[in-house]
Amino acid sequence: MRKIIFVVAATALTVSLSVDALQAQSQGNGVRYRWRDGSGLPHYSDSLTSDAMKYGYEVVNDRGLVIRHVERQLNPQERAAAQKLADEQAAQKLAAQEQARSEMQMLTAYPDEDSYKSSLKLEMNNIDQQISTTRINLHSQEKALADLLARAADAERAKQTVPKFLSDSITKQRNVVAGQRNTLEHQLSIHDAADQKAKQQLQRYRELKAAQAQGQTQS
């Protein structure tokens, strides 16, 4: 994108200078360049100088009328800032276009609120199903851990040393249970975020439908 913008900018500058040259030729020797330096002092020249390009200039005819105004050249920092701003504005414009297209597709796919609610509910049901599966797995893994801990407790009550394989199994199983609990916690967070998003999407759908209905009424 930046390459394209620089090409466009270079083309625009070339066109600008060409226009100035053509205008100068059409006006004859009466065309001059006027600019102010860093101290604000005015300067005139029959040719385009580096200072004029640096501070910005005006093309004036023999009657003192301004034919064209050209802004000063930007320094590297200003060019970088201008490029960054242009990129941000382009990204914002693209995002707005994508959102508008997505919303139009949504209205086309779901002509009424009930059909849209059903689609949102289906998404929530999928998340709920994942949570339910994780809970079942977690319960199974917790039971396996409890069995291992019970075996270790039996050995300790019998004044026996807990076998290394049993201790290793307990450590491993605890890690499995911890992983399942983390997964469940993450899925619950996803559920809450999805529920909040669904409410916002439904509100936006209602706003779009209302605007659509109002537009059809006015037409």
Please check whether residue 93 lies inside any domain of the structure. Answer: no
Domain coverage including residue 118: 113-218
Please give the model's pTM, rounded to 2 decimal places.
0.58
Mean pLDDT for the stretch of residues 127-154: 97
Residues 196, 131, single domain; the answer is yes
Which pLDDT value is given to residue 134?
A: 98
**pLDDT of 14 higher than 70:** no
Residues 161-211: pLDDT tens digits? 999 999 999 999 999 999 999 999 999 999 999 999 999 999 999 999 999
Please check whether residue 81 lies inside any domain of the structure. Answer: no
Mean pLDDT for the stretch of residues 145-162: 95
Structurally, how many domains does the chain consist of?
A: 2
Please check whether residue 95 lies inside any domain of the structure. Answer: no
Residues 63, 125, single domain; the answer is no
- Domain termination residue (choose one: 47, 73, 99): 73
Please check whether residue 34 lies inside any domain of the structure. Answer: yes
Please check whether residue 86 lies inside any domain of the structure. Answer: no
User: In which residue are the tokens 């105004």 written?
Assistant: 69
> What is d(CA 60, CA 81) in angstroms, rounded to the nearest whole number?
31
Please check whether residue 103 lies inside any domain of the structure. Answer: no
User: In which residue are the tokens 């911890």 written?
Assistant: 178
Residues 195, 134, single domain; the answer is yes
Which pLDDT value is given to residue 31?
A: 66
Name the nearest CA neighbour of 174 among 146, 139, 145, 135.
145
Contact 98/91 with Cβ under 8 angstroms? no
